[in-house]
Amino acid sequence: MVVRVRVKLKPLKGKSKKAIETSALANSGFASIVPEAVIPAKLARQLGFLPKLPEGARTETYVSVAGTTRMQYIPNALEITVSTTDREAGPVIVGATISRNESEVLLSDKLMDELKIQILRPGAGLWRFSDDKPEVIRETTQAQEW
C-alpha cells in the first residue's frame, strides 16, 4: 500500500478553467527543485493542456528507476489543494509535468512539504498533515487512474 490523497487541480494555463478532483500519489521518491506534479496525458487533455501546450511549456529530461525520459513541463500550471473530510491544505501553485506513461497524479517531495503531507507508515497507507495533532492519523484514499 502507498499514501494517496484527494486533490483538487485548478488549471491556471491552457484552454480549460474547470477544476478536477482526483487522487494523487504522495511520492517522496519524486525529488524536485520546486513544487511539481506529474499528470497523466489523459488528465492533461481534460485540464486543457493538450493537444496544444500552453505558452511557456518546455521539454525536460527526467530520470527514474525505469530510466531516462523526456516530458513536457508547464511552469505555474496548476493550483493544487488537498481535501480531507475535515479540512483542506493549499492551494499551492505548481508546475505540471505531462506523462504519457503514468496513469496517476504524482506529487513531488517539495509539493508534499508545501501541502503539509507527512507520511507516517507508507506500507499501511497512513499519513497526517504536519500541523495535525499527534493523535490524528489519516488513511490513504483509493487510486484513480487516468
Q: What is the pLDDT of residues 55-75, one digit of tens each?
A: 899 988 877 767 788 889 999
Q: What is the phi-psi region of residue 76: left when phi exceeds 0, alpha when psi lies from -120 to 50, beta otherwise?
A: left
Q: What is the pLDDT along the chain (146 residues), one digit of tens a residue?
A: 699 999 999 999 988 889 999 999 997 677 788 899 999 999 999 999 999 999 899 988 877 767 788 889 999 999 999 999 999 999 999 999 999 888 999 999 999 999 999 999 999 999 999 999 999 999 999 999 99
Give first-to-last CA distance, the chain, whole Å. Answer: 19
Assess contact for 51 and 100: CB atoms under 8 A: no
CATH architecture, range 4-139: Beta Barrel (2.40)
Distance CA 17, CA 112 (A): 24
Hey, where are the domains in the chain?
4-139
Assess contact for 96 and 14: CB atoms under 8 A: no
For the range 137-140, what are the long-range contacts, defined as Cβ-Cβ under 8 Å and sequence gap of 24 or more?
Answer: 138/84, 140/1, 140/2, 140/3, 140/4, 140/5
